[in-house]
Amino acid sequence: MLFIIFLLNLQVAVYTRYSTTQVKNTVAFKQYKLYTSETTVFKAGNSINLEQNLILEIRQEGIDQVDIQIYDEANKHFRLPSDPPFNYNDVKDPQQFNSYDYDVKVQENNIAIQVQRDDATIFQITDLIFSETYIEFTHIPQNKQMWGLGERNQVGFRFREGIYTLFARDEPNIIEDGKRPGKHVYSSHPVLLSMEESGKFNVMFYKTSSPMDVHYGEDKMKFITIGGIIHIKLFLGDTSPRSAIKKYHKYLGGWMLPPFWGFGFHQCRWGYKNSSVLIDVVQQYQKNLIPIDIIWTDLDYMDDRQIFSVDKHKFPKKDFQYLKGLGVRYIPLLDVAVGVKYGSEDEGYRKGTEYDVFLYSPNTGYRFQGYVWPGDSYFPDFFHPNISKYWNEMHEHLYEQVEFDGLWVDMNEPANFCEGECDWSNHLRDHPKREDKLNNAINFPYIPGQIPLANKTLPPHLLHHGQYLHKDVHNLYGIMDSYYTYLAQKELGKVQPFQITRSTFPGTGKYAQHWTGDNGASWDFLYLSLGQVFQFQIFGIPMVGADVCGFMGDTNDKLCCRWIQLAFFYPFFRNHNNDLSKPQEFYNLGFHVVQSAQKNIHLRYSLLKWFYSIFIREQNHGSVINPLFFIFPEDYLTYRDFVMDTQLLIGEELMGAPILNEGVTRIAYFPDSNWYDLITGLELKGKQDHTLYCSYNEIVPIFLRSGYLVIQNTKENIKNLKSLDNHYRIIAAPLNQEAKGVFADLDNFEDEEKALEAEIIHIKLAVEEKSIKITISQSHSELLIDEILIYGLECSYKQCTSGYYKYNSVFKGPFSLGQDKTELVLK
């Protein structure tokens, strides 16, 4: 379709009448001046002073990507910086194409912008209000099939009617209900995946860090921010939602490949009072035959909760060496607020004041003082030019005290126990007053979420380096922390830096992974956690997980068993709870919990090399844990809520159907394919619902899709990831006599440098009349095959025996593939 500008005379409800004059017009770039004679508009009883002169720019960045910007003519409103970590792949000078997959229409009077394809409007901007502290526009979705706009702790993956706030906030154990006051949590991702009436998908990214409300009701979606500009990027995919998601991820710069060990089982608890407890926890897991690879500590390891410090009496170095000898890695908590009560005796305080990297109060001109776990605290300014030097040196200082393997980056919204600034009379005056940091409070005509913007954080009128207002960069604090923490770990020699962060923003996935924060030990939090994992597949942070068995409140055996079964599918699998709840290490609960952990974690470990290969296959772009409609988008039955919210696919190959309630049966939908129980080979026909049974202490229901194969380690007693060897089982389910699969070309999955460069081995199994032929692409590594299971195939070959069911064939090895051997023939 050719790009066309139409001057429409649509009768639409508007708030401000902006007239339009075109200034520039090329095939790939259009610019307009917008003007209104109106000076004010009233919203919710408040008078808003309008920007009378605006600029509209439309860039056709590709045949399937469009960029729309509306900004003040003086260009004084805040924009996202372009330096890392915000160096997205914007197209400054778009290439011209003969045709595009979309049209853009601009209305001359009462400005309205429509993006259309397949003769339908897929995105629009109408009902515009634009001021320094209030920006609003309306979009009318084609239908209710939308996902994203988070982070939200909401029961159900689909975006539902309500009012939702995007403003990073430390708010534990809360579930989103779409009502006021806002239930917003740790991250801001103004990203929306939509299904069009044509069956195609698109991703809309509202490129702003401003606090935002999204009002969705009566088939309209109203976006309200309190600053910045309107900057919309639209990525147009085909009938697969993953196509649009991949384009968005490529724009962000992709996501990092985490280290292999990060997929192991992690154990944490707030309340591990000394390193002897850590040793005992690890040994108890090993005694109970539950694989474990990483032990964590919360605040307990610090010296009086001062960050970058270690209580050397309770956590001596020798004990961490002992833990390493037990085969586990170590991850400590690291918050952002630096305590002040020890003054220059504390290294974080001393160097921070020396480098002048702490934020200043807009009210006093002295350093801003909040209150967090260390007590009275200063906050780093991540826009300060000295921050990288300071952050690197402080991580080196911590590493000298304890050689951590990764980091847990928390409280980085940033969280503050005061509403804005604490009592000024108690503030330190250990430095000259900074007049240039004084700033008047801002009178906002509208507050997203109807909760004061300073609540549990910093005041919105505080100034960061570069004269950035905190209200404009608040949602960026977490990604800035993650970015500099990533660089600090690289300075320490980490090849694949591993950090789990709480507060995220578009682009965080290049530097960090995510956990979903302080959840509750409840069935609701168990249920909604899968939707959270799906959200972050859209957001570009595929390695994500929730605190297994719940962080707040006492868990129970049934809940914990079901959570273990679901966590089999989490990329990030950590058991963690707080110090006020009863201990919930699996061995501290009932025998059914121990059995569930033994079986499910052992099976997870046996498949982890294949699981990691799926991450490598995606090449840092796209989703890994998929709701069923991501893979079967044309099957309307996959859009039913119970299917969308409770079933998943790892890649395209393995489907999970965990039970997320207290019952022992569930209805699960099996899309168009033949499906086989991964453990037994039982066949279930597709395009229909099936009733599944799973007791609390059994392996989660998991099924192999026909046409595919997976690679499983055959080791029986798996203690940790290091105990995995290169002996495997191929499990295949041919469709039309063929099955295909992938595996990473790695002899040692823990070799991080090689993992980053790893190629994918493509494996094909073909059923022929007199033989089974397995071929692989060229590889450097060798696969030692102990066994080959072929589901859906009756044993009629000399080398095979029958499996558990009649139509299962088992071929016993040893066989080998790889290096110079690219073909295996079974007679």
Instruction: Give the active site residues.
Output: 410, 413
Angle between helices 387-401 and 347-354 (to 10 degrees): 160
Q: Are 700 and 566 in contact (CB under 8 A)?
A: yes
Would 772 be classed as within a structural domain? yes
DSSP string, 80-143: --SSTTS-----SSPPP-S--S-EEEE-SSS--EEEEETTEEEEEEEEEEEBSS-EEEEE--SS
Would 395 be classed as within a structural domain? no
pLDDT for 1 equals 39
Mean pLDDT (whole number) for 195-218? 98
Mean pLDDT (whole number) for 19-48? 92
Would 46 be classed as within a structural domain? no
Q: Is the pLDDT of residue 612 over 80?
A: yes
Beta strand pairing call for 370-372 and 338-339:
unpaired
Domain with 661 in it: what CATH number? 2.60.40.1180
Would 798 be classed as within a structural domain? yes
pLDDT for 8 equals 37
Would 790 be classed as within a structural domain? yes
Q: Is the pLDDT of residue 7 over 60?
A: no
Q: Is the pLDDT of residue 368 over 90?
A: yes
Would 589 be classed as within a structural domain? no
List phi, psi (to 5°) of 529.
Answer: -65, -30
Q: Are 537 and 623 in contact (CB under 8 A)?
A: yes
Structural domain total, the chain:
1
Q: Is the pLDDT of residue 429 over 70?
A: yes
The set of residues, in sequence order, having a beta carbon less than 8 Å from that of 432 and lying 6+ positions away, is: none
The string of pLDDT tens digits covering residues 444-479 is 999 999 999 999 999 999 999 999 999 999 999 999
Would 520 be classed as within a structural domain? no
Q: Are 209 and 508 in contact (CB under 8 A)?
A: no
The string of pLDDT tens digits covering residues 528-541 is 999 999 999 999 99
CA separation, residue 556 to residues 80, 201, 411, 552 (Å): 45, 41, 28, 12
More confident residue, 805 or 161: 161
Mean pLDDT (whole number) for 260-272? 99
Give me the percent of the chain exceeding a pLDDT of 70. 98
CA separation, residue 156 to residues 6, 152, 530, 627 (Å): 39, 10, 9, 12
Mean pLDDT (whole number) for 675-701? 98
Mean pLDDT (whole number) for 290-301? 99
Would 667 be classed as within a structural domain? yes
The set of residues, in sequence order, having a beta carbon less than 8 Å from that of 108 and lying 6+ positions away, is: 7, 8, 9, 19, 20
pLDDT for 301 equals 99
Q: Is the pLDDT of residue 3 over 70?
A: no
Mean pLDDT (whole number) for 240-257? 98
Mean pLDDT (whole number) for 586-594? 98
Q: What is the extent of the structural domain holding 644?
A: 625-826
pLDDT for 11 equals 30
First to last CA, the chain: 55
Of the pLDDT bands very low, low, confident and very high (cuts 50, 70, 90), residue 15 is low
How far apart, in whole angstroms, are the C-alpha atoms of residue 456 and residue 371?
10
Give me the percent of the chain exceeding a pLDDT of 90. 92
**Of the candidates 624, 535, 564, 688, the residue with the CA atom closest to the CA atom of residue 255:** 624
pLDDT for 44 equals 74
pLDDT for 13 equals 33
Of the pLDDT bands very low, low, confident and very high (cuts 50, 70, 90), residue 5 is very low
- Environment class of 314 (CB within 10 Å of its CB; exposed 0-12, middle 13-18, buried 19+): middle
Q: Is the pLDDT of residue 642 over 90?
A: yes
pLDDT for 731 equals 98
How far apart, in whole angstroms, are the C-alpha atoms of residue 647 and residue 669?
8
Q: Is the pLDDT of residue 270 over 80?
A: yes
